[in-house]
Structures are given as C-alpha cells and as structure tokens.
Structure 1
Amino acid sequence: MTDDRAGGTSDSCGNPPAIPFSPFPESYGSLVGKLADEGFLDALTPGVPFALQRVNYRHFLPYLNTVKSSMPGSPTVKMAHDLLAFDRRFCSVVFKYIGAFELQLRAQYAHWMETLHGDFALYDDRLFLREGKHAESLARYEKEVSHCKDRFIQRVLAENGGRLPIAMGIERMTLGTLSQLYSNTADREVSAAIADFFGTSKAELSNWTKTITAVRNVCAHFEPYVVRKGIPSSPLKIKGIEYSNRETFYIVLLLCKLLTPKLVFMDLNLCYSYRLYEDLLVTISGVAGPFEDILLMARIPEDWELLLDAATNGTISIGNDFVRKMQDRPRGQRIDTRSR
C-alpha cells in the first residue's frame, strides 16, 4: 500500500480468508491443533476457537508470532489476543489525532493559498515546483472531487468549468494528496507560514506528513501496527528527542509535536497534544500492572510520558499542573485560565 492513499481497501483484501466463516467451533480444529503443536499452552481451551471465530488467522498471525518470540516456552493465544486488543485501542487513539492534524493542515493550506493566490490556486501549475508532480496530484484531487455527489458541489463545479474553490475542494481531498501538494508548493511564504503554525520547517512538515499518511492508512484498514518491525516511511528525527525514529511509537511523538500550540491555553480542550496524552494514558494504564508484558511486546517505552513532555516543550507538565490545581482548589473558587 502506498503512503498517498487515504481511502479504499487494503491491498491484501483481494486474498481469500485463511479460515472459513462458520458458526461451528469444531471447524477450527486444524488451526487449534497447529497452535498446540507450536507450543501455545492454552491452544486446547474453549477460548481459542472463540477467538479464531472473530479474528482471521492471517490477521492474528503477527500477534501470535510476537508472543511466541517474546515468551519462549510459555506462549498463550490469550496473550496474543490481548496484544491485538491493545493494538486496536492504541490505533484508535492515533487515528483520532491524525484526524485532528489533518483538519488543521487543511485549514492552513486552504487559508494561505486562497489568501495569497485566490480561490482556484490549486489549478495553477506555476505555483508548484514540479509540473509533473502537480499534474499527478491534480488528477488525483479531481478524481476525489468526482466521487462527491453533493448537489451543491456539483453545481459549483458546473459554474466554474469543473473547478472548485480551494476552501470547498480541500474538504474532498485525502491527506495523501494534500501532503503531496504542500511539499510541491513553490511559494515560500505559503509553505513557511504553514510550517511556522506547526512549529516546524517545511522539510520537517513535508516529511512527517508523509509518515503520518502512511500510519493513517494502516490504522484505517485495521492492519497490525504495534507488532510491525518499524514505523511506515522514514520520519526525520525530532530535535532534542533521544528515541529511535524507526519505532512504531514515534508516530505519537510526531503528532504531539505538531499538535502543540504556540500558546498553551488552560482550557485543555484547546490543546490536542494534551488530549492525546490523556487518551493514551487511559489506554496504557488499562494494561499496566498484571498485563505489563503487553506493553513490552508493543514496545511502549517506559519513559513515554517524559518523551511526550519533551515533544510538546513541557505542555504535558503544564497541563498536569493545571489539572492538579483544579482538583485541589476549594469548591466554587475560580482559577486563572489565561494563557501562560
């Protein structure tokens, strides 16, 4: 699957399922026997056919392999299923905040291109560095717009010779197309203003958006993520962060970096990076303690909170301090909510 896709179906969905969809657990006997032969201690328990009825064996396999290699001599199918369930929860958090980033990037790109170059800037190849790349992106964009059957959109297209004003068209655009258009934008004022909004350079934002798009597609198709060997694409390192940029967890650091506003408002609903942290805290805390092995197999760093704090320039610490003040204040007492 290429990193410019943000819709459609998985590349692998043309393959037939490895197991039949049957309501009868006994039809899974061969798989149960295979798991028993491979050393899974609970292979012959009732929970295993229950799990196999609900997860395609081919989809389950990366989790089974991870557990088997991490727990030699004592792997269980239940542990693999718990790891899969954690992956789904982790990816739901990541996908949620990729959506928040995508909305912000759309807003910024539409604003600056429209302000400096007009409603139909996307169609002007002079505004882009590589004409061939622009033609490819424009063709993809026009295909995406053509899928919209909204009557108002169709009327605007007809009135403007098949073109949409950027403020409307950008809402029909996939993140992959938007990423390509931004990286190919020639106007340095446009690209610099957008990069500055996210606190990065154009090179960083272009590179990180490519990685975010690739991860988005993995999450959107419910493909295994935390058990991958590494993050899709090759993100540039975040300055000042001592953590491997090849790890799957790196996507969280990228999102925290990009979603941290320059001004930290004490209405934490306005700070998406802090909300990401809170959602991730719930997800990770849910498997801490007796399920600590899940976090090790998912390669969640022990110091993940410190890494997020570094990626957000201390925003996590500021947010936690504010939450503690809110919890400790006398009932009815107001607290200063001005930006710090």
Structure 2
Amino acid sequence: MRFTKPSVAIVDQLALLQARGMLVPDVGHALHCLQHISYYRLRAYWLSFEQATPGSGEHRFTPGTSFDDVLALYVFDRRLRLHVMDAVERVEVSLRGSWAHHLAMKYGPHGYLDQAIYARADHYDRACQTLISEIGRSKDTFIVHYLDKYDEPRHPPIWMIAEVISLGQLSKWFSNLKFRSDRQAIAKPYELDEKVLISLTHHLTYIRNICAHHGRLWNKQFTVTMMMPNSPAPLRLAINPASERRIYNTLAALGYLMGIIAPGTTWRQQLVGLVDSCPLADEAVMGFPLEWRSQPAWTTPPAAP
C-alpha cells in the first residue's frame, strides 16, 4: 500500500479536530500547542477519547471531549516522566557506587578489567569495546587527567569509570559477573536478591530511555519488564502482579529504592499528589491496583534521614 496522506497546515489540523467533535475553548492556545507540541505527539493522548463511527472507519470524539482534556493528560504524562527520571537518576548514581566500591575493594582499582571474573567472554569483550569508546569521548577533567598522566594501566580505575558509564552499560557489567557472591554483595544495600536487582536495572534502563526520548509512560505497555520480587515484604506487597507491563510496578519499585537511597524523601507522597491531580489519567490503565492508596508503601511517612 502506498502512503498518500497529505501534509496538513496547523490551522487545518485544528479544524479537523473540531470537525470530529473536539471542543476547543481557546482557539489561540490550541494553535499554540499544535505548533510547539505537534499534532502527532498530542494524538497519542486523545486516542483514549476517540470512539469508532460504524461504517465510515473515521474516529470521532466522545461527546464533551475538550482540547483542554487532551492537554491535561499530556501535561500529566510529562510531569510523571520528570518525576520518574528524578528517582531513576538517584538509583543510577547509587548503583554505580555500590558496583564500583565492591569491585574496587575485592579486586583492586583495575580488577574490573579482569576477564576471569566475568561469566561470558563475548559479553565482556563487547562491554569493553563500548566502555573504551565512552572513555575516548569523555571530556571529564578527571578522565583527561588520568589519560595524560598515567601510561599503565591504560584505562582509569573503576571509581572514575563509574562516573562515565551509562546505566545500560552498568547493567551489562553487573549481570555478567561470574560469581553470585559479587552480584549479591552489590545488591545487599538494597535488601534485594541479585537476580531481582539485575532485572530491575535492565528495566530501569528501558524506562530511562523512554523518558530521555520524551515517550509516553502513563498508558504504555512495556516490552522490558522487571522480575516480580518475593521479598522484602514492603516491596512484594506494593507490587501488582496482575499488571506487570504497566508503569505502576516501576513506580512501586522506585518508591521502595528511594526510601533506602534517600531517607526522608517525599517522592512517594509527591507521586500520590501527582496521580490525584489528573482524574483523566485512568489508574487502571497505569496498572494501579484497587485501594492502592491505603497500602503501607504509599501511606507510611518517610523515614528520618
């Protein structure tokens, strides 16, 4: 089939939405949003307001649908992304530190480069090549200083590497460690089994990439999911096993980790407020279980720092 849809000017885009039944209380503001957000991006947020018209194949909007409703949902998703990224950043920095400290103390500053401590040589080789490329591109003062001053070892110590390695690369170095004792030691500060933490790290890499590219979170079905934890109890009870591909379990895991990494944080309380601020964001679509607000994970006051 050949693509034949024509390009449509912004003013005509708005006219099309109105012809399909969307209310536009402020035409000037709607035109501004279509200019600076785009029709195609906003389209993902008005899909839930559409209803099929029998016979024609054209989707009209549910009576009463307003452009302001679509924009409210878009703004909610944007705020949710920013809130998630705030937690992912804290988790990423903490994981880097736990990984680097354990390996440095057990194997020395450059022991992370020893192929013998990794399970798969092919994965190790690919990870090394990627890391070498990242080091070569780095303009960080400490990396430049090391490379200028030292000839041996060729690559910086692990605590410097931890400052430039990406979360995706970190998850690969971590998961490829040969000895479970090493993986478990890295996971110990979070009171998680190493398999759960490795799975969660892969998942958070995926989530971080969605956020970094300004993708939807609120109603997205994830392709990279996290392992359902059996412990500790606070996390297990917060998880909704019936919606493993939705954002809720990610939020529950981040809330748990934030309680460990940043005692006293109000991240979870802020999340509750954010969800309450947008009734249009269907909680069931996001994977929230019934009565989730009454669960200890969301009602317990933050611990003192």
Instruction: Settle same-fold status: TM greater than 0.5.
Output: yes
Q: Which has the higher contact order (CA 8 A, sep 6+)?
A: 1
Identify the match of residue 294 of structure 1 among 273, 281, 289: 281
Is the Cα contact below 8 Å between 2:246 and 2:287 reproduced in 1?
no
Q: Structure 2 length as normaliser, TM-score? A: 0.82
Q: Cα 1:74–1:296, aligned 2, differ >3 Å: closer, same or farther?
A: farther
Quote how far apart the aligned CAs of 1:141 are.
1.4
Q: Structure 1 length as normaliser, TM-score? A: 0.74
Q: Cα 1:297–1:254, aligned 2, differ >3 Å: closer, same or farther?
A: closer
Q: Partner of 2:212 in structure 1?
A: 220
- Find the aligned partners of 1:19 and 1:299 in 2 and give their Cα distance: 33
Which runs of 5 or more residues in structure 1 are unaligned? 1-17, 21-26, 262-268, 311-315, 323-336
Q: Partner of 1:170 in structure 2?
A: 162
Please give the residue correspondences for 1:1-340 in structure 2 after superposition, counting only pairs within 5 Å: 27-42=9-24, 45-68=27-50, 72-158=62-148, 159=150, 160-228=152-220, 230-239=221-230, 240=236, 241-243=239-241, 244-261=243-260, 270-271=262-263, 274-287=265-278, 292-296=279-283, 299=286, 301=288, 303-307=291-295, 309-310=296-297, 317-319=299-301
- Find the aligned partners of 1:166 and 1:251 in 2 and give their Cα distance: 29
Quote how far apart the aligned CAs of 1:162 are.
3.0
- Find the aligned partners of 2:286 and 2:225 in 1 and give their Cα distance: 18
Listed one character per residue, the Cα deviations across residues 83-123 of structure 1 (whole Å, up to 9, x for unaligned) are 01001111111100001111110110000000001111221
**Aligned residues, how many?**
281
Q: Cα 1:116–1:31, aligned 2, differ >3 Å: closer, same or farther?
A: same
Quote how far apart the aligned CAs of 1:283 are.
1.9
> SS at 1:260's partner residue?
helix
- Find the aligned partners of 1:168 and 1:19 in 2 and give their Cα distance: 50
Listed one character per residue, the Cα deviations across residues 190-235 of structure 1 (whole Å, up to 9, x for unaligned) are 211112221111111111111111001111121122132x134021
- Find the aligned partners of 2:269 and 2:130 in 1 and give their Cα distance: 36
- Percentage of pairs with the same residue: 20
- Find the aligned partners of 1:106 and 1:19 in 2 and give their Cα distance: 47
Quote how far apart the aligned CAs of 1:258 are.
3.0
- Find the aligned partners of 1:246 and 1:94 in 2 and give their Cα distance: 16
Q: Cα 1:198–1:62, aligned 2, differ >3 Å: closer, same or farther?
A: same
Q: Cα 1:206–1:249, aligned 2, differ >3 Å: closer, same or farther?
A: same
Moved more, 142-151 or 41-50: 41-50
Give 2:64's aligned amino acid.
S
Give 1:248's aligned amino acid.
I
Q: Cα 1:210–1:37, aligned 2, differ >3 Å: closer, same or farther?
A: same
